[in-house]
Amino acid sequence: MTLHTTISVTGKVQGVGYRYSARQFAQSIGLKGTVRNERDGSVTVEAEGSDEQIQLMIAWCHRGPARAMVDSVRHFPAPVEGFTSFDIR
């Protein structure tokens, strides 16, 4: 069963390769969706996959790439959009 989760990450998450690292991790576990910077300095991940894949992505978001300093990660379910790849927006 495909699930969709929106993940919002705050902290020092822009300008540190967060989106590129998120895409690489998501692709490595077969997750579909998008990652984008927000105007408020946060990063949003739209993730679609199995519950296990989404839980792995949420756990990764708490760490992020080496230069990131994550303050908080919030996530909530959303309607499935049918992504076919994982892209940076």
Q: Could you list the active site residues? A: 19, 37
What count of other Cβ atoms lies within 10 Å of the Cβ of residue 71? 11
CB contact at 8 A, 58 and 46: no
Name residue 47's beta-bridge partners: 5, 33
The CA angle 78-56-15, to the nearest 5 degrees, is: 85
